[in-house]
Amino acid sequence: MTDDVQVRSGEEGISNDSKGSGSIRYVVLLAVVAALGGLLFGYDTAVIAGAIGFLETHFTLDAAATGWAASCALVGCIVGAAMAGTLSDRFGRRKVLVLSAIFFAVSAVTSAIPRTLPQFVIARIIGGLGVGAASAISPLYISEVSPAHIRGRLVSLQQLAIVSGIQVVYFVNMLIQRLGDETWNVTLGWRWMFASETLPAVLFFIFLFFVPESPRWLAKQGRGGDALGILSRVGGRERAETELAEIKEAIAHEAGSIWHLFQPGMRVALFIAVVLAIFTQITGINAILYYAPEIFKRAGAGTNAAFARTVAVGAVNLTFTLLAMATIDRFGRRILLLLGVTSMGVFLTLTGRAFQIQSFEGPWVLIFVLGYCASFAFSLGVVFWVLVAEIFPTRIRGRAVAIGAFFVWCSCFLVSQTFPMLVEWMGSAKTFYIYALMCLFTIVFVWRVVPETKGKTLEEIEQWWRPSDKGA
């Protein structure tokens, strides 16, 4: 196959532009479609926030069972993330995203019709498989089709899509909750909340057939002509030829085995990805996102007010994700992490103090929770997914990113399962203080270990981890 090949429309969906200067609009379109996996990620995981109180009543759940109902989907996320890397390295990024769309749609329907808690759990785990796969592969795909100078902003579309999905489902949950009284919501309302995911899942499935495979994955498979066609459409022929040569050189230096991650140099990248993945969760974000209405009810809000305040949480999350996207390639990854995580710790401490002294008059608890969510969205929420998609070599990037996502979901499961149990055992105040302490540990880790990747090509970043380049 020659470099000037007409790329197969049924597979790659574009023609080779041998003389063009590239199209930013085109690469943004690819990133947006891939990021729809993130929208479903946010939608599927956050739908439980509106339903969990009604599920608790419907199935008569204690604290541990409530945590299991809220977190069971994360078991699927863990498995999906663990499998996604290997599957995407073998079959391609796009095929794994198509599979995740199927899981989303199946789960949306089956989560709405269970008669027993075990049936509900199975349905949610199926959805979790899709979430786990999309969480690993969507940012990976975006990073592999994006030029270096805008890669941070485009990869952060994944987080924008996640928080958009959260915001949308919070709003949908509120509308559904207001269709009937408490009895109606306990019987039927929560079912409609889960069923509402069917439409975006089907749309994601359809749109994926109009995007090409990752050019870096194609180059790894020896399909340089297809890869060049896509890269030319993105950045123009001249830049595409240079970039393809860099990709091939990077692939030539890669062993390809997952054990490559444990070699000197690469161990540092793996350590950063795993530890930062854990910190994104044990600093408490999903305790807020999954249980926001119940937290606000504990602070004295009625059901309608609690759901309205939860919509405000989603709106703030979305707004500050946009702010992070606008600044991540200007200020860099480290400064956003250090500023944002420090603010997270402050707001968690204030929230804990409010619960400790039972100070629920006025809007202060809402302000503290919104401040915490804004700080997370501005830092860990965006930067983790950008970093983990940047710091690994092409041949094993899929599996490496999946390892990062795997630890995200393991930590998310831990937080989601234990939050109602911790609140029951030690109270809300001490629970928030624990999350604040985790923020302090995160700040130390970022300051001492996490590198700045702003403005570097993926191949330049890869060279950092090669022992030979360090004089080893």
**What is the model's pLDDT at position 22?**
57
Say what the pTM is.
0.76
Q: What is the pLDDT of residue 285?
A: 93
CA distance 329 to 169: 29
CATH code assigned at 446: 1.20.1250.20
Token pair for 214: 């990752």
Confirm whether 9 is domain-assigned.
Answer: no
Compute the distance between CA of residue 267 and CA of residue 465 in angstroms, rounded to an integer.
8
pLDDT in tens, the chain (472 residues): 333 333 333 344 334 443 445 577 888 888 888 888 889 988 998 999 999 999 999 999 999 999 999 999 989 988 988 888 788 888 889 999 999 999 999 999 999 999 999 999 999 999 999 988 988 888 888 888 887 777 777 877 877 788 889 999 999 999 999 999 999 999 999 999 999 999 999 999 999 988 888 888 888 888 878 888 888 877 777 777 877 887 777 777 655 566 777 777 778 888 888 999 999 999 999 999 899 999 999 898 888 999 999 999 999 988 998 888 788 878 888 889 999 999 999 999 999 999 999 988 889 999 999 999 999 998 998 888 788 877 777 667 767 777 887 888 889 899 999 999 999 999 999 999 999 999 999 999 999 888 877 766 666 766 666 655 444 3
Residue 16 forms part of a structural domain: no
Q: Of 16, 465, 446, 460, which is closest to residue 228 (Cα–Cα)?
A: 16
Residue 291 vs residues 52, 75, 193, 416: alpha-carbon distances, Å: 8, 18, 15, 9
Could you tell me if residue 114 is inside a domain? Answer: yes
- Are the CB atoms for 386 and 139 separated by under 8 Å? yes
What token pair was written down for 444?
A: 């130390």
- Residues 44, 107: contact at Cβ < 8 Å? yes
Indicate the number of domains in the chain: 1
| Separation CA 253–CA 393 (nearest Å) | 9
Let me know: does 109 contact 195? Beta carbons within 8 Å: yes
Cα angle 102, 107, 113; round to 5: 140
- Residue 2 belongs to some domain of the structure: no
Whose CA is closest to 381, among 213, 135, 168?
135
- The length of the chain is 472
Question: Tell me, what's the pLDDT at 287?
Answer: 93
Q: Residue 213 and residue 410: Cα distance in Å, rounded?
A: 29
* Contact of 163 with 409, CB cutoff 8 Å: no
Domain assignment present for residue 8? The answer is no
- The 3-class SS string of the chain reads CCCCCCCCCCCCCCCCCCCCCCCHHHHHHHHHHHHHHHHHHHHHHHHHHHHHHHHHHHCCCCHHHHHHHHHCHHHHHHHHHHHHHHHHHHHCHHHHHHHHHHHHHHHHHHCCCCCCHHHHHHHHHHHHHHHHHHHHHHHHHHHHHCCHHHHHHHHHHHHHHHHHHHHHHHHHHHHHHCCCCHHHHHHHHHHHHHHCCHHHHHHHHHHHHHCCCCHHHHHHCCCHHHHHHHHHHHHCHHHHHHHHHHHHHHHHCCCCCHHHHHCCCHHHHHHHHHHHHHHHHHCCHHHHHHHHHHHHHHCCCCHHHHHHHHHHHHHHHHHHHHHHHHHHHHHCHHHHHHHHHHHHHHHHHHHHHHHHCCCCCCCHHHHHHHHHHHHHHHCHHHHHHHHHHHCCCHHHHHHHHHHHHHHHHHHHHHHHHHHHHHHHHHCHHHHHHHHHHHHHHHHHHHHHHCCCCCCCCHHHHHHHCCHHHHCC
Paired tokens of 62: 């204690």
Contact 382, 414 (CB under 8 A): no
Q: Is residue 1 part of a domain?
A: no
Largest Cα span, the chain: 72
CA angle 246, 453, 388 (to 5 degrees): 85
- Residue 419 sits at the vertex; the CA angle it makes with 417 and 423, to the nearest 5 degrees, is 140
Structure tokens at 36: 């729809």
| Contact indicator for 384, 327 with CB cutoff of 8 Å | no
Distance between CA 72 and CA 91 in Å, rounded?
28
Q: Is residue 209 part of a domain?
A: yes
Provide the domain limits for residue 71.
24-470
- Are the C-beta atoms of residues 50 and 174 closer than 8 Å to each other? yes
Is residue 15 situated within a structural domain? Answer: no
